[in-house]
Amino acid sequence: MNNTGFLPICKEDLQARGINQLDFVYVCGDAYIDHPSFGMAIIGRVLEHNGYTVGILAQPDFRNPDSILALGIPRLAFLVSSGNMDSMVNHYYVSKKRRTKDAYTPGGEIGRRPDRAVIVYCSMIRKHCKDIPIIIGGIEASLRRFAHYDYWSDSFRKSILLESGADLISYGMGEKSIVEIADALNAGIPVKDITYIPGTVYKRKVLTEDYEETLFLPTYDEMLADKKKYGESFLVQSQNADPINGRTLVEKYTDHCFIIQNPPALPLSESEMDEVYRLPYMRAIHPSYITKGGVPAIEEVRFSLTSNRGCFGSCNFCSLAFHQGRILQVRSHESLIEEAEQIINMPDFKGYIHDVGGPTANFRHPSCKNQLKTGACKNKKCLFPTPCKNLDADHSDYIALLRKLRGLKKVKKVFVRSGVRFDYLLADRDDAFLKELVEHHVSGQLKVAPEHVSDAVLDKMGKPRHEVYKRFVTKYEKYNKELKKNQFLVPYFMSSHPGSTLKDAVALAEYIRDTGYIPEQVQDFYPTPSTLSTVMYYTEIDPRDSKKVYVAKNPHEKALQRALIQYSNPENYDLVKEALQKCGRMDLIGFGDKCLIRPRKLSKEKQVLHGISEKSSQKNRVPQNTKKNKNSKNVQSDAKKKTVSGKEQYNGRKRKR
């Protein structure tokens, strides 16, 4: 099938195409953007490419159950996803306050999808269709495939497969498993018998199959009674998240209820990745949204290229390794140049390719040759606590790709704005990439993610020691000076991560003081499902060594830690003062160069006594190297523009590293 145009979204579209009944109806919490940065578009196009008809039911009215039938009942199955973001992260700040905008909705309007969108959509379907197969996927379903701690309700919840009433979970990226599921359903195999496809999770009342090679996780009741058991379960899950050496996992709920996870699907080969990204995407929002103000999320990716998937960085607060896997998947240079040519020919292209990357920009091949043979190591990480001796730290392929892209006609500049993993960069003995990055690919500032300065906290994060980041800063500044560039580093810092005490937060504030960097935004740790850090947050135990972990759970203490990072903001004065008092650090309240804040309501006589005028006092509030230069306006506005809500959860983020 070689249809052109957008996938059908209404019955008029079906009539125009002569479709009486769709094979699949894809129900999604996002507006329909036909672009390969959005899972709905990829899965829809992949199924279409394999001969199936797919309709997109974007943001149905969850207050009206009948809206789920807007495209009719599909022949094979409903596909359900919350969208590119977890619906709860999409709706709530870490403070649990309601967000005011949704980048994935026309006009940025909030509230067009329900909380726990996957469960609600499945319930709507089941009200009308008791027997139709429901396949759930995407980030919300993938990260809730087993029992998990839920931050928003502060409770331990069951697998989303049970809570939603769906038949199968297609977890991970899903291109391979969804085609196998479609072929099985099309062949007449009942959905209850589709138990053999990698990258899927199913449920059983009785275990009748041969489960000799299966690993049994602690039962739901055991984990509910003993939080430590949940930590043990998650370690087993994370050790079996590899398609080559991962084993089938079983989680028992009752004597007549079991959740079974097959090992992950194999990663896409380079040619398979190229094929996925070569499908006939419109690379635009659906025209029906134009009069509603457009869809903000497209702006982040309109002129960007996705060059890879997966991440062997495996930060503890990030779900990428659990969702996309640790084995890198990449596209060929030819595929990326072909897409770049499409971008260049877009009418509003101004000559700038905004990004060439993925979860981690400078990963372009598996971390070592062993990964493709025996899989990622179960009990070792590639970069933590130090780079593995088998790590293949080589940027030559990425350098060659960037050179080709910036050599294209009509391209003025190619930026790298997704996460650069600085410890991997330093592991490369050749500084060629760092030099080229500084010379050609930084847009006034480079965003990196040291996250903290306390080595104890960094250990809980799965991040390199602070000394590594300082070495990177030295090298970055060196090449900026040599190349006569005036480009800044914008570091991401996180407050209140498990292991972080108020004293650690003070140490971070002192580092910020010494570097003169004033962070505009701070990410408070957000406990999302299926990360090791969330396990530590819930259990207050590090499952790696079973030792107790200090966790700041009280909202006020979290506010204190966050305020310390932005101590120069006058609105944070009272919180900073309280935090310093609690830590016994009154030495940081005063007039010295090392003080974070000054005493309030100082009389003119005391100002004279201390040799401080009101003018000089105000001047000294702002570190010297934050004075404006000719680029500062662009730099600050770009920093605000690049900070989007969707980057909080993958810690990407696609904040990403």
Domain ranges of the chain: 11-200, 303-568+622-647, 579-621
As assigned by CATH, the class of the 11-200 domain is alpha beta
Q: What is the pLDDT of residues 577-621, one digit of tens each?
A: 999 999 999 999 999 999 999 998 654 555 555 555 444 444 444
In the predicted structure, residue 404 carries a pLDDT above the cut 50: yes
User: Which residues on neighbouring strands pair with residue 414, listed in sequence order?
Assistant: 353
Report strand pairing: 77-81 vs 134-137: parallel
Contacts of 239 (CB under 8 A, 6+ apart): 378, 379
Q: Which DSSP string corresponds to 240-280?
A: T--TTT---EEEEEETTEEEEEPPPPPPPPHHHHHHHHTS-
Q: Which residues pair with 309 in a beta bridge?
A: 329
Question: pLDDT band for position 213 (50/70/90)?
Answer: confident
Block residue for tokens 């060929």? 332
Q: Answer whether residue 421 shows pLDDT above 50.
A: yes
Average pLDDT over residues 151-159: 98
Average per-residue pLDDT in the chain? 91
| pLDDT in the model for residue 622 | 40
Of residues 470, 476, 315, 311, the one with CA closest to residue 385: 315
Predicted local distance difference test score (pLDDT) of residue 637:
41
11-200 matches 303-568+622-647 in fold:
no
Q: Which residues pair with 260 in a beta bridge?
A: 202, 250
Task: Find the helix or strand (DSSP H, E) in which 493 lies.
Answer: strand 488-495
**Residue-wise pLDDT tens digits, 14-42:** 999 999 999 999 999 999 999 999 999 99
155 pairs with which residues across the strands?
150
DSSP class of residue 497 equals -
Q: What are phi and psi of 547, to 5 degrees?
A: -90, 150
- Please classify residue 163 by burial: count the beta carbons closer than 10 Å to its beta carbon, then call 0-12 exposed, 13-18 middle and 19+ buried: middle
Contacts from 450-453 at CB under 8 Å and sequence distance 24+?
450/422, 450/491, 450/492, 450/493, 451/492, 451/493, 451/494, 451/497, 452/493, 452/494, 452/497, 452/500, 452/504, 452/508, 453/507, 453/508, 453/511
Overall average pLDDT of the 97-108 stretch? 97
What residues are paired with 250 via a beta bridge? 216, 260
Integer Cα distance of 307 and 186 in angstroms: 33
Which residues 6+ apart lie within 8 Å of 232 measured at CB?
218, 543
For 428, the token pair is 């490369």
Distance CA 214, CA 488 (A): 51
N residues, the chain: 657
Q: What is the pTM of this model?
A: 0.89
Write out the H or E segment, with its range, that includes residue 194.
none
pLDDT at 650: 34
Q: Look at residue 299 and tell me whether its pLDDT is greater than 60.
A: yes
Mean pLDDT of 51-58: 98
DSSP 3-state assignment of 342?
Answer: helix
Q: Using CA atoms, how far apart are residues 8 and 19, in angstroms rounded to an integer? A: 10
The torsion angles phi and psi of 448, rounded to 5 degrees, stand at -135, 165
- Name the residue with higher pLDDT: 419 or 254: 254
**pLDDT at site 602:** 54
CB of 55 within 8 A of CB of 75?
A: no
Contact of 302 with 282, CB cutoff 8 Å: no
- Give the whole-angstrom CA distance, residue 74 versus residue 408: 45
pLDDT value at position 609? 52
**Can you point out the beta strands (E) in 40-127?**
54-58, 77-81
Pairing of strands 249-254, 215-216: parallel
What own/partner pairs with CB < 8 Å and gap ≥ 24 does 267-271 have? 267/243, 267/309, 267/310, 267/325, 267/327, 267/328, 267/329, 268/173, 268/175, 268/176, 268/309, 268/329, 269/329, 270/329, 270/330, 270/331, 270/332, 271/332
Residue 633 has pLDDT above 50, yes or no: no
Residue 183 has a pLDDT of: 98
Q: pLDDT tier at 646 (50, 70, 90 boundaries)?
A: very low
Name, in order, each residue with C-beta under 8 angstroms of 521's C-beta and a sequence gap of 6 or more. Answer: 643
- Rounded to the nearest 10 degrees, the angle between the axes of helix 573-582 and helix 555-565 is 110
Tokens of 383: 């970069």
Q: What angle do CA 487, 491, 495 make, to 5 degrees?
A: 160
Residue whose structure tokens are 């020919």:
345
Per-residue pLDDT at 425 exceeds 50:
yes
pLDDT at residue number 519: 87
4-13, 17-26, 334-343, 392-401: the lowest-pLDDT one: 4-13
Arch. (CATH architecture) of 303-568+622-647: Alpha-Beta Horseshoe (3.80)
